């Protein structure tokens, strides 16, 4: 009796499938991966040999160690290599540091998880705040300020409040302004310029006879200095033209 019931059930299912537009042997929707719960397209950065019991499908994502929370690390033996995680694990704030984006692939470490940035990478997230990324040549180590290397330069990652001060930077001829498109720290030749600090605001004084004191020419910011340079260049060009016409 049981065999007869199973036989008729199989016939019913086969008839239902066969009634579709596509022949039953070509249909695969029953086994199609659900991208909402599974990783549909896996390649580098994934391990497709691991069964994800929470999503009932194969595949987990490699997450970089830097993107893990201190709690996760301590509870899992302080891993030094990327760890595999399912989507539900990655969504947990107990596992992933909120300063990191696990949707971005870290090419240096072959795993997912890079520090969140803004303004073209000139600032990066530390403790929920975006702080300056310093250029490679800014002497943070000489300033005894702990830092973390990034693609664009260095980040004072251990404490978002312990940023280099104007006096720190001026000591080595730097100011805390954007030097390139993606980092902070502009250098001025100390034989040509002197950097004074009004609190944490740099004041650029031009040496060699050009008086750049704020009281005289109003040079109080880097923008003021650049305007002065442009004016001096225009004046020099005009003088050359005048001398050539006589």
Q: What pLDDT, on a 0 to 100 scale, did the predictor assign at position 19?
A: 47
Spatial CB neighbours of 78, under 8 Å, sequence gap ≥ 6:
none
Q: What pLDDT, on a 0 to 100 scale, did the predictor assign at position 154?
A: 85
Spatial CB neighbours of 225, under 8 Å, sequence gap ≥ 6:
204, 206, 212, 219
Ranges of the chain with pLDDT below 70: 1-32, 144, 157-161, 180-181, 208-246
Q: Evaluate whether 54 touches 88 at the Cβ level (below 8 Å).
A: yes
Q: Evaluate whether 95 touches 85 at the Cβ level (below 8 Å).
A: yes
Q: What are phi and psi of 4, to 5 degrees?
A: -65, -40
Q: Evaluate whether 99 touches 125 at the Cβ level (below 8 Å).
A: yes
8: tokens are 């008729």
Neighbours of 104 (CB within 10 A): 14
Residues 217 and 246: their CA atoms lie apart, in Å, by 32
pTM (predicted TM-score) = 0.64
């Amino acid at each position: 009796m049981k065999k007869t019931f199973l036989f008729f059930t199989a016939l019913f299912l086969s008839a239902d499938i066969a009634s579709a537009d596509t022949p039953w042997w070509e249909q695969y929707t029953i086994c199609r991966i659900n991208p909402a719960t599974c990783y549909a397209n896996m390649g580098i950065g994934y391990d497709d040999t691991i069964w994800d019991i929470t999503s009932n499908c194969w595949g987990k994502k490699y997450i970089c160690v830097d993107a893990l929370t201190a709690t996760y690390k301590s509870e899992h033996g302080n891993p030094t290599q990327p760890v595999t995680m399912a989507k539900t694990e990655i969504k947990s704030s107990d596992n992933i540091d909120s300063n990191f984006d696990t949707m971005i692939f870290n090419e240096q470490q072959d795993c997912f998880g890079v520090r969140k940035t803004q303004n073209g990478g000139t600032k990066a997230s530390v403790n929920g705040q975006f702080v300056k990324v310093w250029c490679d040549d800014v002497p943070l180590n000489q300033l005894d300020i702990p830092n973390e290397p990034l693609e664009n330069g260095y980040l004072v990652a251990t404490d978002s409040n312990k940023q280099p001060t104007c006096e720190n930077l001026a000591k080595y001829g730097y100011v805390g302004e954007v030097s390139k498109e993606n980092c902070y720290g502009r250098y001025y030749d100390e034989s040509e310029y002197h950097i004074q600090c009004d609190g944490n605001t740099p004041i650029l004084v031009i040496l060699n006879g050009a008086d750049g004191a704020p009281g005289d020419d109003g040079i109080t910011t880097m923008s003021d200095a650049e305007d002065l340079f442009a004016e001096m260049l225009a004046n020099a060009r005009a003088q050359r033209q005048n001398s050539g016409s006589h």
